[in-house]
Amino acid sequence: MKPAPFAYERARSLDHAIELIAGAEDARLLAGGQSLIATLNMRLSRPQLLVDINRVPDLDRITLNTSQIEIGALVRYAEAERSAEIATHAPLIAKALPFIGHPAIRNRGTIGGSIAFGDPAAELPACFVALDGEAVIAGPSGTRVVKADAFYKGLFESALTPRDVLTAIRIPAATSETRTAFAELARRHGDYAMVGLAATARAAGKALSDVRIVFFGVGTTPVRAHSAEAALATGDIEAAVKTIAADLEPPDDVQATGAVKRQLAGVLLRRVARQLMGEDA
Ligand SMILES: Cc1cc2nc3c(=O)[nH]c(=O)nc-3n(C[C@H](O)[C@H](O)[C@H](O)COP(=O)(O)OP(=O)(O)OC[C@H]3O[C@@H](n4cnc5c(N)ncnc54)[C@H](O)[C@@H]3O)c2cc1C
């Protein structure tokens, strides 16, 4: 199928992008196009205007300050995979990136596009929540910062309004105490996961604190497993696995039934917990 007709504008600056989307009834930002173009081609969305942000300056930077790493919305997955700053200071993101699609998709797809689109089966939104990150959002009334825990509201719904541009995400920079772990189960490498899990913790030997366990592919948004987090902080992996039923109610989908997903979630949680505790998965 071909997309419904639409107008196209290339934004020269962030202000220009905000002005263009404010002036149209139904506009969409075009970043890497790896989700948007597919939805247009399938006529799942029919915006009147596409605002191309690919040439907006300064959105493709990775910046490190004392306690945070800021990743610009237009940083492409492939660039992030090659980044020494991300490998060192945001290792969870470095672990997750190779699981996203295939190299052709990672050459175009952007970090901001993934966070903004918020596919509940996508890797980076779960990492963003597990890392307790922040979204930097520019809109007609200025810039605001939204914590990851408050960012995702429902299926493909987030704190972003149709008038906003996500300009960057900020992640607390990893320290010597930071442990991160990532695992997913997909039918084939590069497919969206049936179930996946991103986790972070502060570690002293095997003792964990500030545990954040976030599943993806199990609900309408990334899902934090609060009971499992509390159980893992006591060091009891099997107790954490037993709480999965309390934390997750995965619906059936084309990939698997909810019951299978819950079972797989337990398998992943065991692997990830061992990684967090410094044991082999
Ligand atoms: C075959 C295939 C396999 C894939 N497999 C995976 C996978 O395994 N895991 C995975 O996570 N993804 C996968 N993807 C999707 C891919 O990761 C997309 O790149 C990503 O979802 C969107 O990023 P993008 O830069 O391409 O955004 P676009 O497609 O350009 O935009 C997506 C949406 O986000 C909005 N948007 C984009 N940037 C911003 C911004 N800065 N501020 C506000 N709104 C914005 C757009 O308006 C649009 O609504 C796959 C895609 C394909 C085609």
Mutate-to-test residue for ligand 1 from 46, 114, 152, 187, highest number of ligand atoms within 8 A of CB? 114
- What CATH class has 62-172? alpha beta
What's the CA-to-centroid distance between 37 and ligand 1, angstroms? Answer: 9
Round to whole Å and give the CA distance between 81 and 204.
Answer: 28
pLDDT band of residue 190 (cuts 50, 70, 90) is confident
Round to whole Å and give the CA distance between 143 and 221.
Answer: 24
Q: 49 — phi, psi (to 5°)?
A: -140, 135
Classify domain 178-276 at the CATH superfamily level.
CO dehydrogenase flavoprotein, C-terminal domain (3.30.390.50)
Q: What percent of the chain has pLDDT over 70?
A: 99
pLDDT of 66 reads 87
What's the CA-to-centroid distance between 90 and ligand 1, angstroms? Answer: 20
Per-residue pLDDT averaged across 116-145, rounded? 98
What are the residue boundaries of the structural domains of the chain, listed by start?
A: 7-52, 62-172, 178-276
11 CB near ligand 1 (under 6 Å):
no
198 CB near ligand 1 (under 6 Å):
no
pLDDT band of residue 280 (cuts 50, 70, 90) is low
- The fold adopted by the segment(s) 7-52 is 3.30.43
Q: Which atom of ligand 1 is nearest to the CA of 193?
A: 8
Of the listed ranges 64-68, 128-132, 205-209, the one predicted with least confidence: 205-209
CB contact set of 271 (below 8 Å; sequence gap of 6+): 181, 183, 281
101 CB near ligand 1 (under 6 Å):
yes
pLDDT of 215 reads 98
pLDDT of 35 reads 97
Per-residue pLDDT averaged across 236-265, rounded? 93
Residue 254's alpha-carbon distances to 213, 261, 271, in angstroms, are 24, 11, 25
More confident residue, 52 or 204: 52
Round to whole Å and give the CA distance between 195 and 260.
Answer: 10
Is the pTM of the predicted complex or chain greater than 0.95? yes
- Over residues 22-60, the pLDDT tens digits come to 999 999 999 999 999 999 999 999 999 999 999 999 999
